[in-house]
Copies of this chain bind each other. A is one copy, B any other.
């Protein structure tokens, strides 16, 4: 059946999901977010979910490499771990990230979910591990304004808000992360991202635009956080600093 649905990934529109996923993955490869086939990206267009396959060189992906799934059909299936594809590429394997992407689509109605192995994300989880922490917190950074207020809320976080991104422990098999990702979503209902210890980050958004720009803003903050640690600067602005600042103005 799958081969009969090749039209699902054929379009002249550069903004069609089947064209966007390859161009985004190439962009992410150049940013160092996806490397050695790690990382990935999925887009949901109403009921249709477009998925990058496993094991492909991310800067060389083609539209014809993509899987397509019906979210409704998948959700209705009694066997959650069995995937039902509308379109399957020949000679490739589905991504182990699939159930994690689906969690963002079903639990948060996301339109796009990005998974990176960014070294900044990994280093942040390592720095938190050495302090026995499982949430990343940073405050008083303009770039925080690039992140939305949360699920079904309009508008973005403000400069004075503290951004909190939960960290879940890594598992041997990526699929097994799903329940922990869902738990983190329940515990942090407004988060648009979950860090995975020694692994990377999952970031989503209402649409491709929001998922991508939120992923950029978070990666920027993760990199900044690592550089701040090297320079001995704290991630949360000291309350005393506020008074000092008022004073020397």
Contact = CB atoms under 8 A, between A and B. Distances in A.
A201 B188 CA distance: 33
Contact of A122 (B119, B170, B171, B224): B224
Contacts of A117: 142-143, 220
Interface residues on A, range: 35 or more
A248 interface: yes
A172 interface: yes
A57 B212 contact: yes
Contact of A127 (B127, B141, B159, B231): B231
A171 B146 contact: no
B227 A226 contact: yes
Contacts of A214: 36
A131 B142 CA distance: 20
B231 A36 contact: no
Given A37-B146, A233-B126, A213 B119 contact: no
| Integer count of this chain's copies in the complex | 4
A61 to B, nearest CB: 13
Contact of A132 (B158, B219, B230, B248): B248
B57 A209 contact: yes
Interface string A143-180: 10110000000000011100000000111100000000
Contacts of A126: 228, 231, 233
22 contacts: A35-B219, A36-B146, A36-B215, A36-B217, A38-B143, A38-B217, A117-B143, A119-B220, A119-B223, A122-B142, A123-B224, A123-B227, A123-B231, A123-B233, A126-B233, A129-B241, A130-B232, A132-B244, A142-B170, A159-B170, A159-B198, A226-B231
Interface of A: 35-38, 57, 117, 119, 122-123, 126-127, 129-130, 132, 134, 140-143, 145-146, 158-160, 169-172, 196, 198-200, 209, 212-217, 219-220, 223-224, 226-233, 237, 241, 244-245, 248-249
10 cross-chain pairs, A with B, having the tightest CB-CB distances, nearest first: A36-B217, A142-B199, A36-B216, A36-B146, A36-B213, A35-B216, A37-B213, A126-B233, A159-B172, A140-B198
